[in-house]
Amino acid sequence: MLVTGATGFVGSHVVERAQSEGYVVRTLVRGSSNTQLLDEWGVEKVVGDFFDHEALKQAVAGVSVIVHCAAKVGDWGPIDDYRAVNVRGLEHLLLEAEAAGCLKRFIQVSSLGVYEGRDHYGTDESEPATLTGMDGYTLTKAEAERLVLEHVRDKGLPATVVRPGFIYGPRDQTVLPRLLERLKVGQVKFFGSGEQLLNNTYVGNLVDAIFLCLQKPETIGEIYNITDGELVSKKKYISSVAELAGYPVPTGSVPLGVARFLTKASERVYRLLGKKEAPLLSNARFKFLGLNLDFSIEKARRELGYDPRVTFDEGVRRMMDWYKGQGAAST
């Protein structure tokens, strides 16, 4: 099995599960990546990236299963920067894997962010991904899905797409540290009531779904929404993290209409000024805090036998236990 993005949040959990299930795991890693965990686990590493032809050829040689977790993640910056990794890099990977001739399964880890940026109430996979009005990350994830499905249709690529929501759990080195920094200094406010639903997906539940897809060849060419099933509000997620971290639970809020207006104004000004960092209120952050994000996982339950094993309360506890242990020391 080749795992891309193996030094990242999701990829490291895929590697860990794959080894526990007896797979021989190979990874494609950049020279600048922290490979401490992979080294501890004795995982084979090919050093390079999607634009290094020889490294890519070596990475896919003899590989029958690829789980593609690598992506440029963020909520700001030139779209072409995201497209280079999330679309063109993916295309290079697909072409090399197809040329190698050994591939039996390919899993594309996408995102529920590919749906239109509006309130969702039980949206399922029959609604198409949108290619308009999105930030660079979500737009290029939608483009990547389209590319994968084109290869399924035109070249017989044995691929399945999984769409997780907001992924949380141990080894989150991105969202959790930023949230804790703001909670510590009292900078977190809810948008509106804070009761809007979060499309929460515990990382272990996502990995379960990935391996269920690998067990079922009938999932080739299919797309699956993946969440915890029991969706929680933005307020519950943030309050749970604050309580477990020992920080005051936020009580302040910004009216939803005001937050929406300030988001649009902030983004407009930042783009005019050519800012390289996202404003405090970006479209991606408004989606996270302001929109109701309820997506159906009935297709995954029915076709995969997906039944989320880890509850939200248990998942957030595991995340905070990890952070208090080794996570806090590494940030």
Q: What pTM was computed for the model?
A: 0.94
pLDDT for position 262: 87
Cα 317 from Cα 319, distance rounded (Å): 5
Who wins on pLDDT, 282 or 256? Answer: 256
Q: Amino acid identity of 105? A: R
The pLDDT of 316-326, averaged and rounded, is 94
Q: Note the pLDDT tens digit of each residue in 285-302.
A: 888 889 999 999 999 999
* % of the chain at pLDDT higher than 90: 82
**Which tokens go with 27?**
């990874």
Cα 164 from Cα 172, distance rounded (Å): 15
- φ, ψ (nearest 5 deg) of residue 12: -65, -35
pLDDT for position 331: 47
Nearest to 206 by CA among 172, 164, 175: 164
Give the domains, in start order, of the chain with CATH numbers.
2-173+199-231+294-312 (3.40.50.720)
Cα 41 from Cα 197, distance rounded (Å): 37
Q: Note the pLDDT tens digit of each residue in 230-248.
A: 989 999 999 999 999 999 9
